[in-house]
Chain A
Amino acid sequence: MARYQDVMARKGEIMKRALGMDYAQFERSPIAFDYEGMMAAHGYSLDDIRRIQRAAGVGGTPLLELRNITDLVRSYAGSGHGARIFVKDEAANMAGSFKDRRASMSIHVASEWGYAGVIAATSGNYGAAVASQAARAGLACIICQETFDSRHVGQPEIVEKSRLCEAFGAEVVQMTVGPELFFHMLELLEQTGYLSASLYSPFGVSGIETLGAELAEDMIAATGAPPTHVVVTHAGGGNTTGTARGLKRAGAVDTQIVSASVDLSGLHMASDTDFNRKSFTTGHTGFGVPFATWPDRADVPRNAARSLRYMDRYLTVTQGEVFYVTEALSKLEGLERGPSGNTAMAAAMSLAHELPHDATVVVQETEYTGAGKHHWSQLAFAREQGVEVRAGDPAENVPGSVIVVPERPEQIQAKDFDLARMRRSYVRNALSHAPEGYEPNPADIVFLAEDTNTTPATVEEIIAELAAG
């Protein structure tokens, strides 16, 4: 048997050992599984997680009110409009992003369970977070990263993330474009016996719950109430899921959860040529939509990140809008942060403009910036790849071809992604992953309703529509 097929055929047994838990115990049917049971199986309470994270140097980041950005939005919002905007400065974590919260839990578990090292497949900030936490814990660390196109040309943002992982003592396996990254991760897990520090494990996603809880507490201290809206940069769904769960645990049950992604529609995520024609390597629709509509495509049997359960709205913004806001944040608030993390900031400005003065909008993360991970270097790189960069109306943005940087802040207008369409797409995917001819039972319908934050009646309607074609 060929090497690729051979390794993939052993995926189940490799993952079972590398994840340290058997996901089969949570399965209820070909469609349903016990999500809350899976999330609770590690046995750590929110307070336990806080203690573990504080010991690891993670969390307790500042909440900042952005008074200048707020007034800027009020300068063009209608009378009485323009919500107060706040940001949780997650760049203050050790490795520079909220991903430290995820990594700290995986590393804690790896140490407790006696693994000698950890492996993660990521081109994002998560790699640096795992590498940093592994260094503190004295564990070996391997990061598998999709870095280059076939010409050996790498996005400056990803190359910077390679550098930071290596700075923290990780071995970084830099690869060309392709989903077989996962195959190689399996090979390495088998070869080393390390823990798979998956982004999508219950440990990792539980680690983000402290962010949601801190946010609610910080806002109660600052304004007397939990935020009315929290805007979350959305990719694989962990950030939305963990933040929303943490907010609820802290009693912020009425807070609207607004997920936000950069619109990269039309670009193929596995394409060698499209790879370097995008200026965002995460927080974009290329992850956001497929992971929301089929979370179990991840590197775990069941994904702990199930964003449709929690999102009340899904907004998209353009690359040019995010670069504009990144510059504005730096010049108006003295807060120079990485562009990917500012995706939610761009959406928040658009959202705040629709809301009354007494609404409060929290952008729940920032990420570090530096050479490569910077809007200037991203724009320079885009031009070198033949992408046109110009000033104008961001509505003329074409992912992969044209980046239009707004000329005025009122041109920042996030677009609503149709959540009903995403729910329908999720139900179709869930049905298509069950064996042929399987009929969903009433418990399945309840599960699908929970997993899409809708009602059993709505799920029945969707199933009837799908059956009618």
Chain B
Amino acid sequence: MNDAIRCEAGEWVEVEYVLLEVAERAGGLPEDTAATPLRAWVKGFARTTALIGDEIEVETMSGRVVAGHLSAISPGYTHTFGTPPPQIVGIGRDLRARLATYRLGGLGVDANVPQGLDERAGE
């Protein structure tokens, strides 16, 4: 994300706007949803210079002109792969060990000969 608070005309930015105020929303919504306005964000090229929070028009990739409050300048993406969850990291090690044991003839896992291996030996 860009820390700038002012965009120039032609810059790639994001605007935020309200699509439906609380009173305008559809009937039958759960209470939590009904209590908030329906908001939207869209990215496009700024048509004028503006400060964060200012009302501004952008031209989107489809060529539409959309008005909203300037919410980000050069908006990027910050989602990640996260960190290895402790419940997950051992799965590969444990399953490889199980498979090796099974293919050796099933010590403590299953005494059945893995029939599939024989069928596939010539492949």
Interface residues of A (CB under 8 A from B): 2-4, 67-68, 70-72, 74-77, 79-80, 84, 117, 140-142, 147-148, 150, 156, 159-160, 163, 166, 169-180, 183-184, 191-192, 268, 270-273, 320, 323-324, 327-328, 330-332, 357, 371-372, 374-381, 389-391, 405, 409
Task: Report how many A-B pairs have Cβ atoms within 8 Å.
Answer: 188
**Can you give 27 A-B contacts (C-beta < 8 A)?**
A2-B24, A75-B98, A75-B101, A75-B106, A84-B116, A142-B64, A171-B62, A172-B42, A173-B40, A173-B42, A175-B41, A178-B25, A178-B26, A183-B26, A184-B38, A192-B62, A327-B92, A328-B91, A328-B92, A330-B92, A331-B95, A371-B79, A375-B88, A377-B80, A380-B85, A390-B87, A409-B95
Q: How far is the CA of A75 from the CA of B113 in the complex (A)?
A: 9
Partner of A140, one of B38, B63, B98: B63
Q: Is there contact, CB below 8 Å, between A376 and B81? A: yes
| Chain B residues, Cβ within 8 Å of A70 | 116
User: How many interface residues does chain B have, given as a range?
Assistant: 35 or more
- Given A180-B20, A180-B38, A409-B95, 17 extra CB contacts under 8 A: A67-B120, A75-B98, A75-B99, A140-B61, A175-B39, A178-B38, A179-B26, A183-B26, A272-B32, A272-B33, A273-B32, A320-B87, A324-B91, A357-B116, A376-B81, A377-B82, A379-B88
Q: Which of B30, B80, B88 has the most CB of A within 10 A?
A: B88
| Chain A residues, Cβ within 8 Å of B10 | none
Q: Is there contact, CB below 8 Å, between A268 and B30? A: yes
Q: Is there contact, CB below 8 Å, between A331 and B96? A: yes
Q: Is there contact, CB below 8 Å, between A142 and B62? A: yes
Q: Mostly helix, strand, loop or mixed at chain A's interface?
A: mixed
Residue of A nearest to B14 (CB): A174
Residue of B nearest to A179 (CB): B26
Q: How far is the CA of A389 from the CA of B116 in the complex (A)?
A: 36
Partner of A159, one of B24, B26, B29, B77: B77
Q: Is there contact, CB below 8 Å, between A379 and B82? A: yes
Q: Is there contact, CB below 8 Å, between B60 and A171? A: yes
